[in-house]
A and B are shown apart, each in its own frame.
Chain A
Amino acid sequence: MKKALIKTTLLLMALLSLQSKAEVVIIVNKDNQAILRKKEIKDLYLGRIIFFPNGRAATPYNKPESDDTRIEFQRLYLNKDKNEIKSYWSKLIFTGKGAPPQTLLNDQDVISMVNSNINAIGYIDSKSLDDSVRTIIPR
């Protein structure tokens, strides 16, 4: 009886902690067969490269600055918090050396952009994922 209670509590806690964090998936167009490494995701989103490894032009899309999925994406793949990202881009913008990826409002907009543009790459909350797009799991 007591054991069961502890088990249930632990299970509940695990579920809650899973829910509190957005789970990020990276998506590209269904016809884009690109395979990406974590470093290439980083280079794409920090404006260092503008091609997929297979030579196709790449256009990364961001979600709004304070969006949870974006913050989680930046933590996981870029290893930077939102202040560091803002400062990184400000340096490039104000020296005329680069501009950050375009921002789309929500997961639906990212999905439809990726659907309609073979060069697009984006990230969304796994809950919004449907089978119209291809997910990329970086090696």
Chain B
Amino acid sequence: MIATTTSKKLFAILVISFLSPCIYANDFSLNQFFSLYAGQVLEGDTYAGYDEQLSTKTDNIYGIQATNSFNDSLSISGQLIISGEEDYDPKISWAYLTYEVNPFWKVRAGKLKTSFFMFSDIIDVGYTYPWIRPPIQTYSFIRYKSFDGIDSLYQHTFGDWNGLVQVYAGRINDSISFSYGSVDRSVDEMAGISWSLTYDYTLTLRAVIHTSQFSTTAPNQAVTNLLQGLEAQGYNDLSNSLKIEDERLNYYGLGAHIDTNSWVFISEYTIFDLKNQSFISDEQSFYATLGYKLNDLLFHFTYDYKKETPDTSIFESIRDIAPTNSQYPLKVGTIQSVGPENTNTDYTLGFKYNFASNSTYKLEVTRFTSHSKQLPYLNSQSEFEIHKGILVSTGIDLVF
């Protein structure tokens, strides 16, 4: 709700700034992008928002962006997107004021795009990367696409290396809807630093460290039930300590991108680490893409991997207070809440064809496999569940 109001306000400010003739004088630019996709899981489970029915909605997106420079050092920019993922509800993707301290140093304030990964601040503009969507296992971490805050972009050069240091800080307040209702999330404080180094516009190396403190109402129905169950039996302290409140989350990422006249190589490794005892799993992910260019064609292959490791220390905490069978529902609830250990592996083969300088056609086949291992607790058996299938997707991207 808060987020919606902020979006509306920002949108109004943008519209007013861009339409008002008195500030039209200096430097104004308007850019747009568009992606239209169709996909279908040939055989298997749902994946990336697609199932066995042909769908033409999930990845569709239209964006319009405007920048208005008031003078050499001050400008305002905003981007509005309409996407299938958001049921075609217009959303402000980002909107901020830029102050150029000098030609190498910019400070931006407002609603900014998060930059956990190499492609996260450009994720909506399919034209700029080889795939239809950046590798899902790694990029699914982006639960927060934007934040309210401030950042500083500093460019430096040594020899043939060009560097960019981004330092940011801010907060997030929003809510997401699940089938069982709406969940409020808030990141009370977040900050991070990323450093990327580019050699001769060909090789880019990037490192990022992020930290945040966040709270959320229970992430799923099982957790809600368990916490209520604990309280009903008088274990208020335990229930409180298990609530997802003021959790410290650290995130580390490394990336490499090589783009020569014939080869493309992209890879990222990320660790997502929760400091306290929590129902939210730790995650590790890795992907590597290798591509070969042939005139206007790019053929590529991607390996994408993620491991989710739940916090099993919660089992011990519950065992300590519920040693007898009379507390059986609590134990079952705990198993459901802690969730399994997941290992997801995807392989994608695809190509991109630049049929005009501002348009690409893409076709991809992804084979996805997910193993879920129920962690051993009490007498419960360790089980494997497999979620798998093949997704075919195709579409076009445009920028203008």
Q: B residues within 8 A CB of A97?
A: 153
A95 lies within 8 A of B121 (CB): yes
A94 lies within 8 A of B201 (CB): no
Tally of contacts, chain A with chain B, CB under 8 A: 65
User: Is residue B94 contacting chain A, with contact meaning CB distance below 8 A?
Assistant: yes
A50 lies within 8 A of B103 (CB): yes
Q: B residues within 8 A CB of A50?
A: 103
A94 lies within 8 A of B79 (CB): yes
Identify which of A79, A81, A95, A99 contacts B122 (C-beta below 8 A): A95
A90 to B128: give the CA distance in the assembly, Å.
6
B354 lies within 8 A of A83 (CB): yes
Tell me, rounded to whole Å, the shortest Cβ–Cβ distance linking B166 to chain A: 10
A95 lies within 8 A of B113 (CB): yes
A48 to B160: give the CA distance in the assembly, Å.
12
Tell me, rounded to whole Å, the shortest Cβ–Cβ distance linking A112 to chain B: 22
Q: B residues within 8 A CB of A48?
A: 155, 157, 162
Bitwise interface map of B from 56 to 68 toward A, beta carbon under 8 Å scored 1, else 0 = 0000000101010
Q: A residues within 8 A CB of B177?
A: none
User: Is residue B125 contacting chain A, with contact meaning CB distance below 8 A?
Assistant: yes
User: Is residue A21 contacting chain B, with contact meaning CB distance below 8 A?
Assistant: no
Say which size band chain A's interface belongs to: 20 to 34
B357 lies within 8 A of A65 (CB): yes
Q: A residues within 8 A CB of B358?
A: 86
* Chain B residue with the shortest CB-CB distance to A75: B261
Report if A90-B29 is in contact (Cβ < 8 Å); known contacts: A65-B357, A66-B357, A83-B354: no
A87 to B127: give the CA distance in the assembly, Å.
7
B103 lies within 8 A of A51 (CB): yes
* Chain A residue with the shortest CB-CB distance to B295: A81
B77 lies within 8 A of A96 (CB): yes
Bitwise interface map of A from 91 to 104 toward B, beta carbon under 8 Å scored 1, else 0 = 10111110100000
Q: B residues within 8 A CB of A39?
A: 160
A39 to B158: give the CA distance in the assembly, Å.
12
A91 lies within 8 A of B128 (CB): yes
- Which of chain A's residues 78-127 have a Cβ closer than 8 Å to chain B? 78-84, 86-88, 90-91, 93-97, 99
User: Is residue B33 contacting chain A, with contact meaning CB distance below 8 A?
Assistant: yes
B259 lies within 8 A of A94 (CB): no
* Chain A residue with the shortest CB-CB distance to B63: A94
A99 to B160: give the CA distance in the assembly, Å.
22
B94 lies within 8 A of A96 (CB): yes
Tell me, rounded to whole Å, the shortest Cβ–Cβ distance linking B161 to chain A: 11
Pairs A-B, 5 closest by C-beta atoms: A83-B354, A94-B125, A96-B77, A95-B121, A91-B128
Given A46-B201, A86-B358, 18 further pairs, Cβ under 8 A: A43-B162, A48-B157, A49-B103, A65-B357, A79-B201, A80-B201, A83-B357, A84-B259, A87-B127, A87-B128, A90-B33, A94-B124, A94-B399, A95-B113, A95-B121, A96-B65, A96-B96, A97-B153
